[in-house]
Amino acid sequence: MGMINEERDEKQRERDLEAEKEQREAIKETGDIALDRKIHLLSVIGEIEGHECLPGNSKTTKYEHVLPKLAAIEDSSEIDGLLILLNTVGGDVEAGLAIAEMIASISKPTVSLVLGGSHSIGVPIAVSTDYSFIVKTGTMVIHPVRMSGTVIGAPQTYDYFRQMQDRILGFIADHSNAERGRLEELMLDTGMLTKDLGTILVGKDAVEEGLIDEVGGISDALTKLGELIQESKHKTE
């Protein structure tokens, strides 16, 4: 009997080690992990990579990894809520908006937490959840759309940039308490960034502008997500 128990314990240890290995690989490859209470953690770190691959030494969030993961979270009966951690400098506009739209369309409760920063196209992702937090030292940068490479000096180019900015501003205004007119003022401000247009909002400033719901940390974010999950379950009962 003792030998059988030892064999059973050994198999359990092997399964635990294999599960831990898979968890480490998931964090390494996609920055996501399943937490207790059926909560899934997704991190948006570094630069948001779009259709073109960034240098291998860059920290990136690949949208072709994130979109299928979000679809799987929506479809899974094992996941009740989604927590998103952000520390991003921004990146590809189309990819960032795609991620933001996908998060906003998830039917399960979602909460975001801005840590180091959520800049540029990271702003729509931060506001795409049901509720959002930012740490006291966290930053959000709002600035006009930029484009690298050859730019054609024609009215159509300006119209394209304007259309893209309108899409970004519209999404942020629709998914936060910030007013669109005020967002445009912040985007085009010339007094804060010495070599650029835009505005940096730190911690409570982002809350006061209506972008983020509350200043808080990981404990606050998990507590809020738990409350939203309970509310969601009560509605379906």
What are the DSSP calls for 179-192, one per residue?
A: -HHHHHHHHT--SS
Is residue 234's pLDDT more than 50?
Answer: yes
Greater confidence (156 vs 197) lies with 197
Is residue 65's pLDDT more than 70?
Answer: yes
Contact in structure between 222 and 216 (CB atoms under 8 Å): no
| Residues 131-174 pLDDT 10s | 999 999 999 988 776 665 555 555 666 666 677 788 888 899 99
| Residues 26-64 pLDDT 10s | 545 555 555 556 899 999 888 887 666 666 666 777 778
Is residue 23's pLDDT more than 60?
Answer: no
- Main-chain phi, psi angles of 202, to 5 degrees: -110, 125
pLDDT of residue 190: 73
Contact in structure between 199 and 187 (CB atoms under 8 Å): yes
Is residue 211's pLDDT more than 90?
Answer: yes
Catalytic positions are: 120, 143
HSE at residue 32, side-chain half, CA atoms within 13 A, is 21
Report the greatest alpha carbon distance in the chain.
Answer: 83
What confidence tier does 11 reach under pLDDT thresholds 50, 70, 90? low
pLDDT of residue 27: 47
Average pLDDT, the chain: 80
Contact in structure between 82 and 206 (CB atoms under 8 Å): no
Is residue 184's pLDDT more than 50?
Answer: yes
What confidence tier does 121 reach under pLDDT thresholds 50, 70, 90? confident
What confidence tier does 85 reach under pLDDT thresholds 50, 70, 90? very high
Q: Which has the minimum average pLDDT: 87-91, 152-156, 194-198?
A: 152-156
Greater confidence (226 vs 146) lies with 226
